[in-house]
Amino acid sequence: KLVEAGQVKTVIDSVHPLENLVEAMKICMSHRAKGKIIIEVAKE
């Protein structure tokens, strides 16, 4: 409800294809991400 009302916004740090999962995990484990790290499993 809060997201729909515009009171909460999702911050995306980066988007990575599944092939770069290791790189994405390194970013996650470094605690330097400024938002969510997205892993693309399949492109639409």
What pLDDT is attached to residue 6? 86
Separate counts of helices (H) and strands (E) for the chain: 1, 2
pLDDT tens-digit map of 28-41: 999 888 999 999 99
What pLDDT is attached to residue 9? 85
What pLDDT is attached to residue 1? 83
Distances (CA, A) of 24 to 29, 30, 34, 36, 38: 9, 10, 13, 11, 8
What is the pTM assigned to this prediction? Answer: 0.69
Query: 37 near 24, Cβ under 8 Å?
Result: yes
DSSP helix/strand/coil, 24: helix
